[in-house]
Structure 1
Amino acid sequence: MKQWIKEAIIYEIYPISFYDSNGDGLGDFNGITQKIPYLVDLGVNTVWINPFYQSPFKDGGYDITDYYAVDGRFGSMQDCENMLQAFHKAGIRIIVDLVVGHTSDKHEWFKKSKQAKPHPQYKNWYIWTDCCFTPADRSMKGMSKRNGNYIVNYYAFQPALNYGFNEIKKGEESWQWHYTDERLKPLRDEIINIIRFWLKKGVDGFRVDLANSLVKADKNGEGVKWFWNVVIGEAKKINPDCCFLAEWGNPIKAAECGFDLDYLCHATQPYNELFRSDKGTNLTAWLERAGHSYFAKEGKGEFKNFLAYVTDIFKNSQGAYSIPTGFHDIIRIAEKKDVGVLKCIFAFILTFKCVPQIYYGDEIGIKHNYRVNKDGGYTRTGARTPMQWDNSLHRGFTTAKRAYLPTESAKNRSVESQKGDEKSLYNTVKTLIKLHTTYPQFSYGAELKMINDKYPLEFVRRANSEEIYIAINPTQRDYEIKQKAKTVLAQENVEIKEKTIKLKKYSFIVIKR
């Protein structure tokens, strides 16, 4: 694993919602470029940008019609290249989405594949049954002139690309091909060409959408392991320094497939138990399992399951994992949480053994908006509202009369309002990021020693024979710990005595030993 990945602080940008440079109500490349100084000042060193490829935007850009073109709503290819160059000039690396599990049904590949007489090049690039009357899971019937049904991943307009099957059903060999079948190689080569194209444009890595599900009927994961080791292996020949970040939620499996990094997501229950087990803090599918988050004012959660989970990763994985504050598919981290709890969450993510990942706007505590639905986002749309820069109309996101999505009315949740407040969430996050980038003890490669996995959370990070002690109390209760505070690097709501430290509600302390 490259050192830059171990030291990365990733900031996710949903491009249509970050900053509008031309007053049309939509965020764009030039808007992102203009806000690079903000990211430099905040202290992040890596940016993940959600899809900006040509798309009908029925699923937020995850329904692509051309992998080699940018969508006009964001600007031109030259604008994109200027943005990439500006990021590099500022010392920030760029990760972009690689969405190759499916395309839009408007993609030229699919149009040529669904014809009554399919184009020979694209005939087998999608998964088609051999007859329109052949039953198959997740198949769309009667949607084309071709005699067959096509398999989709999620929505009907997202036909699945054909990377083959691991387990082939008897009698269906005519359309279910083994993942190593040479007839699948042209599509695989095309994916490598897409990767090559964007690496040459200057991107530093890819966040891979649906990384674990490309090969079908692949219960043991051998198919997807084979596929990604081939593809990532070829990508590393093009640029040995590039990074592959998986959307998987299983860092051990992802590393076996060649991924450098995997982020914990809402499909990973130990992650939910940190921040998202309380009712109203997760997506609908998880609400019925509501319990108690560890980082919550009630102090009824448990850390032990998460600790066991990541300890297994440390022992058995050559890759790394990241902990996101949130991302574009889940309810905002600030929902139903006090600012004090949010500060404790950032203190944890930026000092614990992980690669920190910040979703745009979480550093100022933007809340979830349940009243909006755009571009196929449904519940997820509420996490994709515009970044809140100041207290002007549309919170400084756009000068247009109407913004892409509405912003919050709360004036204390903007960059402008928080920058001047030393005790704001923004300034706390900025301080912790500076700490993370200054001390090698916070690199992913540094050691972790747990002291207490109850309340308060206590652990030590060690590198170069030097230790840093961290204690975090995300609850409403007070705790007193026996610890001398010789060199305090950061603190929030603590009372320091000669031999003890009182951790008041929503508090943390970082001490160099």
Structure 2
Amino acid sequence: MTSTQPTAPAAETLTAGAVVHVGSDTAREWWREAVIYQVYPRSFADSDGDGIGDIPGVTAHLDHLATLGVDAVWLSPFYRSPQKDAGYDVADYRDVDPLFGTLEDFDEMLAQAHARGIRVIVDLVPNHTSDQHAWFQAALASAPGSPERARYVFRDGRGPAGEEPPNNWQSIFGGPAWTRLEPREDDGPLGPQWYLHLFDSSQPDLDWTHPEVRAEFEDVLRFWLDKGVDGFRVDVAHGLVKADGLPDWDGSVAMVEGTVEEEAVDPGAPEDGSTGAGNHGPMFDQDGVHEIYREWHRVLAEYDGDRCLVAEAWVEPLSRLARYVRPDEMHQAFNFSFLTTGWDASALRTVIAASYRANDEVGAPTTWVLSNHDVVRHASRLGLADPGARPNGIFATDPQPDEELGLRRARAASLLMLGLPGSAYVYQGEELGLPEHTSLPAEVRQDPAFFRTQGAEAGRDGCRVPLPWSADAPGFGFGPTGRTWLPQPESFARYAADLQVGVEGSTFEMYRAALATRRAEGMGHGGLAWLDAYADSPDVIAFRNAGVVVLANLGPEPVVLPEGVELLVASGPVDGVVPTDTTVWFRA
């Protein structure tokens, strides 16, 4: 790899080069530049000692989020559910599961968050329900062709006796995407029907061509908007509408939330920023989804406060993803192309530029993200021998991440992300530098992807382990009894929040400083221009945003800083030079 420039450019030469994104100082909605913190409720904090996090636990730790300086929280599902897929199998969209508390607990949490200036986004799961949902139970009790079955995707099977699935689609969690019902007396000549489930068999897909389905979800939106929520993160936003006729598809759906197994991906991103992270096939990204989101946009527009819709859409190229955030549709869409780009300066510059190109064309912010509840935490992902790898979980028998290297790169990557104009999401524990739990035994795993692949894939449990709040407390302070629904590794002790808050140089304090500087300097609504002084440095990403220079050194050689610069935030020790795998913000 070619080394970076051995000498420092003069401070006065750090002028903007190619402009990638033009900022705006005009009035703007809050979500265009917000830093939003993802709370995975069952793993955030436990108030009652049962070992499972809950809504009162969230309320009890809102001051942690206020101290960190985030603008909003997004809560993963807390609705009534049999918990076959950690709450993404919803049985009642208008109630809180007793596991997590009550509606009154939610109202209190919402009020307490708003009192601290923190907005609240809730998860919405519209692609499928739980098989325990009243609608699906009614469908099971009804005859083929009934109105009750019309709300879901029921079909007769193929073959002389309907013994083959209606098509060859596979579940994202592994195995067939169809399950056949038990026989009934009123079955047709092809016997029991089959129902579609792109995920687990306990998660039947809704039929979004049915007007009752559309009306029901508009009502669900209003229920939570009337309570005062500030927006919705929409699960599988690209999957609601399936191609007419449900045609067979010979492509691979061996992808769990962006983990590609179809083919090796070139580590150098193509010019459109694609990394292979998009879901493909007749079950995804159909044009019909956009009319649904136009309808939802109109519902949210009836309420004050700039309520927002956030798309979880694994869609590429970025120009295709940008269709979800046109002015009359959603407001944000997670940039999974950025998340899945390896630790490579050229590839990152490409995906950053392509992201602004696509989103600026439709007047939408770019929404940056590095980790969430579906992917290996980036503090571990970036510590793998191939820092561009995207495994679906990590077993104890797999090659292990380099913990020190992963944390150093994770801090640098996070500071790079937070320096970009637009909105950014922080996954709980990320602000502590928390790594993946890579040694969970099979007997404690709960992710349906692990079971539906017969243990071939580790799944997502490793990124969902309960947070460490106190280094010396049982369960690291997760709850009053020390119980945790997944075991925590001993290494979590050194990442505990009480060892980081207020401690200079900690990952938490780096995040807090970055968020404070980002707000003070207006970086969320700033512009981005590459710096010509570093144009010949293949391992350096350097740009100016508002009045701040952001410089990330991904190469092996240190990069000398110009004399006289004012250092604002750094991901690691800096003494006149930026070491490898380090990002700095400075004023020059």
In the superposition, the TM-score normalised over structure 1's length comes to 0.83
Using the TM superposition, name which of 197-206 and 136-145 deviates more.
Answer: 136-145
* Contact 1:104–1:157 under 8 Å retained in 2: yes
2:569 counterpart (477, 490, 504): 490
User: How far, CA to CA, are the matches of 2:49 and 2:166 in structure 1?
Assistant: 49
Give distance in 2, aligned partners of 1:245 and 1:50.
Answer: 13
Q: What are structure 2's unaligned runs of at least 5 residues?
A: 1-26, 170-176, 245-281, 316-320, 384-404, 451-458
Question: Counterpart of 1:124 in 2: which secondary structure?
Answer: helix
Between 109-118 and 319-328, the greater mean CA deviation after superposition: 109-118
> How far has the Cα of 1:475 moved from its partner?
4.2
Task: Say if 1:415 and 1:475 are closer, same or farther in 2 by CA, change over 3 A.
Answer: farther
Would the alpha carbon gap of residues 30 and 228 (structure 1) be closer, same or farther in structure 2, given more than 3 Å must change?
same
* Cα distance, 1:203 vs structure 2: 0.9
1:142-176 C-alpha deviation (Å, 9 max, x unpaired)? 34646522111211111110113xxxxxxxxxxxx
Output the CA distance in 2 between the equivalents of 1:365 and 1:486.
28
Q: Which has the higher strand share?
A: 1
Cα distance, 1:239 vs structure 2: 4.5
Per-residue deviation at 1:398? 1.6
Report the Cα offset of residue 426 of structure 1: 1.4
CA contact (8 A) 1:478 1:504 kept: yes
Partner of 1:373: 445
Identify if the C-alpha distance between structure 1 residues 144 and 207 changes in structure 2 by more than 3 Å, giving closer, same or farther: farther
Query: By how many angstroms is 1:315 displaced?
Result: 3.6
Correspondence for 2:425:
357
Q: Which has the higher contact order (CA 8 A, sep 6+)?
A: 2
TM-score, normalising length from structure 2? 0.73
1:265-302, Cα deviation, whole Å (9 max, x unpaired): 3xx3x5312xxx4xxxxxxxxxxxxxxx227xxxxx63
Could you tell me the percent identity over the aligned residues?
A: 27
Is contact 1:493–1:506 with CA below 8 Å preserved after alignment? Answer: no
Q: CA 1:427–1:474 in structure 2 vs 1: closer, same or farther (change >3 Å)?
A: farther
2:324 is aligned with 1:254: yes
Q: Deviations over 1:322-365 (max 9, x none)?
A: 22230000001111244322221121111112311110001112
Task: Name the counterpart of 1:390.
Answer: 470
SS of equivalent to 1:191? helix
| More displaced 10-residue stretch of structure 1: 5-14 or 115-124 | 115-124
Q: How far 1:122 moved relative to its partner?
A: 2.9
* Aligned equivalents of 2:207, 2:153: Cα separation in 1: 5
- Equivalent-residue separation in structure 2 for 1:507 and 1:192 (angstroms): 46
Task: Tell me whether 1:343 sits opposite 2:427 in the alignment.
Answer: no
- Residue 30 (structure 1) aligned with residue 101 (structure 2): no
Which stretches of structure 1, 4 residues or longer, exceed 6 Å deviation after superposition? none
Opposite residue 428 of structure 2, the aligned amino acid is: Y
| Aligned-pair CA distance for 1:2 | 5.0
What is the DSSP-based 3-state SS (H/G/I as helix, E as strand, rest coil) of the residue aligned with 1:12? strand
Q: Deviations over 1:100-123 (max 9, x none)?
A: 100011111001112243796533
Offset, 1:305? 3.0
1:375–1:73 CA distance, 2 compared to 1 (3 A): farther
Number of aligned residues: 456
Q: Distance in 1 between matches of 2:307 and 2:498?
A: 35
**Superposition deviation, residue 401 in structure 1:** 4.8
Q: 2:376 aligns with which of 331, 339, 349?
A: 331
Check whether the contact 1:2–1:241 (CA below 8 A) recurs between aligned residues: no
Q: Residues 191 and 264 of structure 1: is their aligned pair in 2 closer, same or farther, counting only changes over 3 Å?
A: same
Q: 2:357 aligns with which of 291, 308, 312?
A: 312
> What letter is aligned with 1:255?
V
Q: Kindly tell me: are residues 144 and 33 of structure 1, through their superposed partners in 2, closer, same or farther at Cα, counting changes over 3 Å?
A: farther
Deviation, structure 1 residue 139: 2.6
Give the C-alpha shift of residue 232 in structure 1: 2.4
Separation in 1 of the partners of 2:293 and 2:126? Answer: 12
Matches within 5 A, 1:442-461: 442-443=523-524, 445-451=525-531, 452=534, 454-461=538-545
Q: Distance in 2 between matches of 1:4 and 1:119?
A: 46
Cα contact 1:27–1:74 (8 A) shared by 2 = yes
Matched residues in 2 for 1:144 and 1:471: separation?
Answer: 64
